[in-house]
Structure 1
Amino acid sequence: MISLSSSWHMFVFILVMGSRAFALDTYIAAVYEHPVILAKNASQLVSSAEALKLMNKNIDILEEAITSAANQGAHIIVTPEDGIYGFGFTRETFFPYLEDIPDPQVNWIPCIDPERFGPSPVQERLSCLARHNSIYVVANIGDKKPCNSSDLKCPKDGRYQYNTNVVFNSDGKLVARYHKSNLFMIEQLLYDSPEEPELVTFETSFGKFGLFTCFDILFHDPAVTLISNLHVDTILFPTAWMNVLPHLTAVEFHSAWAMGMRVNFLAANIHRPSLNMTGSGIYGPDGSRTYHYDLKTLNGRLLVAELDSQPSRSPSYLPSLNWNLYASAMEPFTQDHNFTGFIFFDEYTFSELTKEAGNLTVCQKGLCCHLSYKMTEKHEDEHYVLGAFDGLHVVEGEYYLQVCTLLKCRSTDLQTCGDSVTTAHTHFDSFSLSGTFSTNYVFPEVLLSGVQLAPGEFQVLSDGRLMSQNRTSQPVLTVTLFGRWYEKDPPHPYTHHIIF
C-alpha cells in the first residue's frame, strides 16, 4: 500500500520532470517596427470612443504582424512603446486612451472576461490576439490609477498615469505589467513614475523574461538588477527611440547592451523617419540575430529569429568579463598631440590616427584608452580619432559615463570629430580597443558605413579587449567601449529633470 506522503512526492516528481521535458532549448522570437498612426490633433481632448477608434487602427496593423509572426512559429512578439496611441498628448488629452490595468496576480484573461475590471477594450483585443494565435504578445499601453488627498503624492487631477508594458501569454492571460520608471524629458508632463523602479519578470517553457521601456536602458534600475539579481534570460524592450550618432543609435546601442550584459534582447521601435525613429532587432549575447534600420521608407518591418532559451548555457557564453584587466596591465602607447571635442555635449579628449597603422593611448581623468589598429588604406579626405570621456553626462538625463571610442570625423576639420556621420570609405584590417575602466558595465559597439552592424566580425575577450576578427566588411564609422559607472550617478537616477 502506497502512503499519502509517497503519492504526493511521486506527484511532485512527475510534475517537475514533466516541466523539464517540455522546456525548450531554443525559441522563435519576433519584434515589429511599427509606423504608428498618430492622432490628428493630440492636444485636443476627444471622447473615449474616438480614442479607441485611433487605437484600433494601430492594433489592426499590429494584428497583421502578430498573425504573421505566429504563422512563422514565433513563441513571443514585442511591439513598440507608444505603438497603440502614438504621442504628442497633454496629460489631460491622454486620459481617454487609458485603461485600468490590474496586477497580473488576479489571474485574468480579458478575452474571456473583458468587463471584470471595468471597460478594457484594448486589453481584451490584445488578449484575444495572443489567445487566438497561441503566442505571447508584448504591448505598450497607458494605465490609470485613482488616488486622493490622503496620498500626499497624488497628482492634482486625482489619478496616476503610467507608461505601461503588458504581456499576455498564449492563452490570453495577463502575466506581466510594468510601469516605466525613467521618464524621458516631456514624458514627465504626461506620466507618473512609480515610487520605486519595478522589477517585473515571468517564466515560460522557453526561458525567464524581464521587461523595461526605452530610456530605462541607460540606468541601473530596473535594467541591470533584472539580470544581475533576478537572472533573466531575455529582456523585452518596447521603445520609441530617436537615434543619436555616433554612440546611441538604436541597433548599435541595444545590440551592445545585450553583449555587455550577456543576455537576449528583443527591441521593437517605432518607425517614423521624420523623427529619426527606426532601429529594431533580435540580439543575443554573441551578437545580432537580425535587425532593421531604415530612414528612407515609411514601411513597418517584422523580424523573426531563433534564440537560445538560456543563453548562459551556450558554449560561446563568456561567464565573466573584466573590462579593466588587459588595459591596466599594459604600458600606455605614445600619445600624439591631443585636442578636445564634443560628442552629444560631452567634452572628449581626442588624438588623431595620422598613420595607416599604429598604437595610440588617450587618457581623461582615470580612464586611459588603448588602441592598436591597421587600416586597409587611409583615405586622405577621411580623418579618424581615438577619444576618451570620463564624466557625468547632463543633457536629456544625468548619468556617468566612461567611454573609449575610435570614430570617423564628419570632415577633415578636426572640430567635426564627434558629429553625426553615416557613411565612410575606410576599411580596417584590424583593431584592438581597451580601457582602464572603473566599472564592469561596458557595452561594445561596432558600427559600419550606412549605420550597419558587424555581426561575427569582432569579439570581446574576457580581459576586456574589443578585437576585430578580420578585415571589416564595410568601412568603419565607430568602434566603441561605452561604459556606465552607475555608482557615480546622482541620487534617484530614475527621476530626471527636463533640460531644453
Structure 2
Amino acid sequence: MIISYFPKCGAVLAFFVLSVGALDTFIAAVYEHAVMLPNRTETPVPKEEALLLMSRNIDVLEKAVKLAARFGRSPVQERLSCLAKDNSIYIVENIGDKKPCNASDPQCPPDGRYQYNTDVVFDSEGRLVARYHKCNLFAPEIQFDFPKDSELVTFDSPFGKFGIFTCFDIFSHDLAVMVVEEFQVDSILYPTAWYNTLPLLSAVPFHSAWARALGVNLLAANTHNTSMHMTRTSPWFCPNRFSEFILYGIHFQGSGIYSPEAVKVYYYDMETESGQLMLSELKSWPRREAIYSAAVHWSTYARGVKPFSSERLSFPGMTYFDAFTFTKLKGNTGNYTVCQKDLCCHLTYKMSEKRTNEVYALGVFDRLHMVEGQYYLQVCTLLKCQTTDLRTCGEPAGSAFTKFEEFSLSGTFGTSYVFPQIVLSGSQLAPERHYEVGDFQEDKFL
C-alpha cells in the first residue's frame, strides 16, 4: 500500500488511474478530491467561465496522474486523453456531457439539449474506450437528465474486463449487479459523490462489503468535502411522495480500493481538506483465483435458529427515514430476536466492558425505502443509540466505548445480495478479521 498527500486543493467529482504491471496484476490508483466547486446558480454560465473552473481542477489531476504513473509504467477530453497517453495509464473521469435534441423529441428540454452525468474512460494510448451516462440520478442532480435507455457499459483491457457506473447506481440490481453477473466483469470503476449517513450508509464499509459480496475489485473514488451545505427550497416529486430536500453539514468522503478478499487501502479523514492518492496492486482476474467463492446463502443459518424469547418489549425508531423495529440490549450477555414482516434478526453477544452511559439495540427493517430514491431493503443491525434515550436509537452516533468480546448476528433474508459491515468508533472500518465467522476480537462498535 502506498499513500501520497497533496496540498489543500480542489478537483472535479472523481478520478481513477490504472497502470499496467504484469498481465496477471495491475496497479490501481484512486484519487479523492478536495472539491473545487462552482458558485450555486440555476442559470447557465459562460463557456469560458466553465472551462476555467474545469481547467483549474485538471491542474490538480495532472499532478496526481504524473505521480501515479511513476508507480506503474472538447478541450477537457483532449486534455484528459493527452494525460492518459503521455503517462501510459488508463484514466476514468466524471464530467458533464451534453447532447443536442430537436422539437420532434417531445422530451427535449427547452434549451435544445440533454445533459448527462457522465463517466469517460481513456486508455493508455489516449483513446476513448468507454462512456457511461448515469441512470439513477440522486435528487439534487437537477442539472442532469435521465438517459432514455439504461445501458450496461464494459470494456476489455490487458488486465481484465471492467464495468463502470456512478454513485447512486450501486443500489440498482438491474444495473450494478447485472453488469457484474451478466458480463462477468473482473473490476468495477466507481466515481461517486457519496455523503456518509451513519449508522448504516457510510462509503467505506458499504463499498468494501459490496466488492466482497459480488466477488470483484471495486475502485471507489469519492469527492472530498467535510462540510458541504446543500439546500433545495422548491419541492420535488417522486412517486407516492412530495417533500422538500434539505441537507445540512454533509460530509462527502471515503474512497478506497477493494478486492473480493481484502480491503487494499482506503481513506477517511474528517480533519483535513486535502485530497489524497491511493495505490494498490490488484489481481486482474479475481474470479479465476482458487479463493473465489460462490454466492453465500445468508439465510440458511438464521432459518435454523429457534427464535429467542420475545417477551422483551420492542419499540420503533427511525434510521435514515426508515421505520425500524428495535429491542434494547439489557445485560452484558444475551440472546435476542426481533422481527419485522418476513425478516427476523437473531443476536447472541458478550460484552467485556459495558459503559453505563451507552445503550445498544438490535434493529430490523423489511420494507421499501422511499426517501431520496426507492429501493427495497432488508436490514439487521446492532447499533449504539445516540444517547440513553431510546428515542435516539437509529440516529447517527460518532463514537462508542463499550467493548464486545464476541457477537453473532444473522437474519432470514429473502435475497442472496447481503452486505455485512462492521463500523468502529470514529467511523473507521473494522479490520478484515472481524468478518470471519468464529474469529471475534475485542473492539468498540457503533
Fold shared, TM-score > 0.5 on shorter chain: yes
* Structural mapping, 1:396-407, within 5 Å: 396-407=372-383
Partner of 2:204: 251
The amino acid that maps onto 2:363 is G
1:388–1:404 CA contact under 8 A, matched in 2: yes
- Find out whether 1:316 has 2:269 as its counterpart: no
- Find out whether 1:160 has 2:114 as its counterpart: yes
Per-residue deviation at 1:256? 1.5
More displaced stretch, 37-46 vs 215-224: 37-46
Partner of 1:88: none
Select 2:398's aligned residue among 422, 430, 442: 422
Mapped to 2, the partners of 1:212 and 1:147 lie a distance apart of 24
Mapped to 1, the partners of 2:166 and 2:286 lie a distance apart of 22
The amino acid that maps onto 1:51 is A
Mapped to 1, the partners of 2:267 and 2:55 lie a distance apart of 25
* Structural mapping, 1:202-241, within 5 Å: 202-241=155-194
The amino acid that maps onto 1:358 is G
Partner of 2:25: 26
- Find out whether 1:72 has 2:75 as its counterpart: no
More displaced stretch, 195-204 vs 312-321: 312-321
Select 1:136's aligned residue among 90, 95, 116: 90
The amino acid that maps onto 1:257 is W
Per-residue deviation at 1:318? 1.7
Partner of 1:395: 371
Per-residue deviation at 1:180? 0.3
Whose helix proportion is higher, 1 or 2? 1
Mapped to 1, the partners of 2:143 and 2:263 lie a distance apart of 34
2:198–2:396 CA contact under 8 A, matched in 1: yes
Partner of 1:191: 144
- Find out whether 1:475 has 2:444 as its counterpart: yes
Select 2:227's aligned residue among 248, 256, 274: 274
1:239-276 Cα deviation digits (max 9, x unpaired): 11111100111112111211222211111011111121
1:178-216 Cα deviation digits (max 9, x unpaired): 0000000121x2111112211000111111110000111
- Find out whether 1:366 has 2:342 as its counterpart: yes
Mapped to 1, the partners of 2:395 and 2:295 lie a distance apart of 34
1:287–1:455 CA contact under 8 A, matched in 2: no
1:457–1:468 CA contact under 8 A, matched in 2: no
Partner of 2:389: 413
Per-residue deviation at 1:438? 0.8
Mapped to 2, the partners of 1:431 and 1:135 lie a distance apart of 45
Per-residue deviation at 1:319? 1.4
- Find out whether 1:145 has 2:99 as its counterpart: yes
The amino acid that maps onto 1:319 is A
Per-residue deviation at 1:296? 1.6
2:434–2:441 CA contact under 8 A, matched in 1: no
Mapped to 2, the partners of 1:413 and 1:207 lie a distance apart of 51
1:233–1:264 CA contact under 8 A, matched in 2: yes
Mapped to 2, the partners of 1:271 and 1:420 lie a distance apart of 20
Mapped to 2, the partners of 1:375 and 1:309 lie a distance apart of 41
Mapped to 1, the partners of 2:429 and 2:120 lie a distance apart of 30
* Structural mapping, 1:39-50, within 5 Å: 39-43=38-42, 45-50=44-49
Partner of 1:124: 78
Q: 1:287 to 1:446 in 2, by over 3 A?
A: farther
Stretches of structure 1 that go unaligned for 5 or more consecutive residues are: 1-21, 75-119, 461-466, 478-500
Per-residue deviation at 1:468? 5.7
1:197–1:221 CA contact under 8 A, matched in 2: no
1:323-360 Cα deviation digits (max 9, x unpaired): 11111122112232211111011111111121212221
1:341-396 Cα deviation digits (max 9, x unpaired): 11011111111121212221111100001112111211111111111100011110
Partner of 2:243: none
* Structural mapping, 1:302-313, within 5 Å: 302-313=277-288
1:427–1:471 CA contact under 8 A, matched in 2: no
The amino acid that maps onto 2:441 is R
Per-residue deviation at 1:23? 6.9
- Find out whether 1:60 has 2:59 as its counterpart: yes
Partner of 1:353: 329
The amino acid that maps onto 1:53 is L
Partner of 1:332: 307
Mapped to 1, the partners of 2:291 and 2:410 lie a distance apart of 21
Mapped to 2, the partners of 1:345 and 1:193 lie a distance apart of 25
Mapped to 2, the partners of 1:378 and 1:305 lie a distance apart of 38
Mapped to 2, the partners of 1:296 and 1:53 lie a distance apart of 29
Q: 1:430 to 1:315 in 2, by over 3 A?
A: farther
TM-score (norm 1): 0.78
Mapped to 2, the partners of 1:129 and 1:221 lie a distance apart of 34
Partner of 1:291: 266
Mapped to 2, the partners of 1:305 and 1:190 lie a distance apart of 35
Report SS of the residue matched to 2:151. coil
Q: CA RMSD in A?
A: 1.6
Q: Aligned residues: percent identity?
A: 57
Mapped to 2, the partners of 1:63 and 1:321 lie a distance apart of 42
Aligned residues: 403
1:258–1:283 CA contact under 8 A, matched in 2: yes
- Find out whether 1:242 has 2:242 as its counterpart: no
